[in-house]
Amino acid sequence: MTHTSSTPWSVADIPDQTGRTVIITGANSGLGAETATALAARGAHVVLACRNTAKAGEVAARIGDKATVRALDLADLDSVRAFAGTVGGADVLINNAGIMAVPLRRTAQGFESQIGTNHLGHFALTALLLPTITDRVVTLSSGLHQLGRIDLGDLNWERRRYRRWQAYGDSKMANLMFGLELAERLRAAGSAIRSQIAHPGYASTGLVGHTETLLDPIAKLGARLPIAQSAADGALPTLLAATAPDAESGRFYGPTQLFGLRGAPGRSGYNARARDRAIREGLWRESERLTGIDFDVMGTLA
């Protein structure tokens, strides 16, 4: 089934997923839960890879026997390695989990929590699972990647004065750069595996209004106005990227209306800084150094 641009893409366009396995990080609520629910409804077996396994269990109970819960804390590389060692192969990996604009905190390995959870945890997870992925990797970014300016000399905010929104934007730019760079490296390796990036626009999820800042009341108000869309609608770009036969590797998918804040999913533009090959390659090397994982795509797929 090939989607035509004359009609908005929706869950009705998701091809039959029977026999396919999809791993979704952070599927215990919000976008991840909606993504898992929609995929299972089309026949996929979904692995809910979550830190909060109790909440994930509630989602799995609603989905039924097509859902499995596995413990994964992206803020702890030991947990990432343990998870990767206990799951079998999958057709699709969806790097969905994330935290947003939190106060300065450190992960188990001492990374700034947003770059550590949103990017480094997913970088390590993808590196470890890529040999078992048969179809594609989808990484979640955000329209707020526009704030991102990757500082390779201080990725973990050890010397700069911490600014939580800048740190969030950096982590989402890192997600975008990683997805783009992974696509290029897969292509260079002659692999048919795809790497796509998606963003939800302005979706009403558990992240909205929980940044512990004065912006929370404004964000909560915005989530109730027509600007915001539901978590189910926010999941559509991810679902398109994860399932559409004609979704292209290296493309960024998001809402197509109101400057990318809402609307039917489709191809999305992104900040030209994400095209900086020197920064992208530097980010890859720094991510390898910090995680201790040599992510040689060519060697991984050999």
**Digit-coded pLDDT (tens) for 132-155:** 999 999 999 999 999 999 999 999
Return the residue matching tokens 């609307």: 263
Residue 256 has a CB neighbour count (10 Å cut-off) of: 19
**pLDDT for res 7:** 79
pLDDT for position 2: 43
pTM for the structure as a whole: 0.91
pLDDT of residue 229: 83
Judge contact between 238 and 96, C-beta under 8 A.
Answer: yes
Task: Supply 179's token pair.
Answer: 């997805």
Three-class secondary structure of residue 99 per DSSP:
coil
Owner of token pair 């396994």: 53
**In this predicted structure, what is the pLDDT of residue 258?**
58
Helix (H) or strand (E) holding 71: strand 67-71
Mean pLDDT by 10 residues, the chain (302 residues): 64 97 97 98 98 98 98 98 94 98 97 98 98 97 96 97 97 98 97 97 61 47 61 94 97 80 85 98 98 92 71
- Residue 223: what pLDDT? 46
Structural domain boundaries in the chain: 15-301
Interior/surface letters 68-104, b for 16+ CB within 10 angstroms, e for the rest: bbbebbbbbbebbbebbeebeebbbbbbbbbbbbbee
Residue 78: the pLDDT is 98
* pLDDT reported for residue 143: 94
pLDDT value for 144 = 96
Q: What is the CATH number of domain 15-301?
A: 3.40.50.720
Distance (Å, rounded) from C-alpha 147 to C-alpha 116?
17
Catalytic residue among 162, 168, 253, 270: 168
CA angle 75, 79, 84 (to 5 degrees): 120
DSSP sequence for 4-44:
-TTS---GGGPPP-TT-EEEEETTTSHHHHHHHHHHHHTT-
Question: What are residue 262's phi and psi, to 5 degrees?
Answer: -160, 175
Reply yes or no on whether 162 is catalytic: no
Q: Note whether 136 and 196 are within 8 A (CB).
A: yes
**Cβ contacts of 247 within 8 Å, gap of 6 or more:** 136, 194, 196, 240, 241, 253
Question: Residue 302: its pLDDT value, please?
Answer: 66
Query: pLDDT of 25-60, one tens digit each?
Result: 999 999 999 999 999 999 999 999 999 999 999 999
Q: What is the pLDDT of residue 220?
A: 47
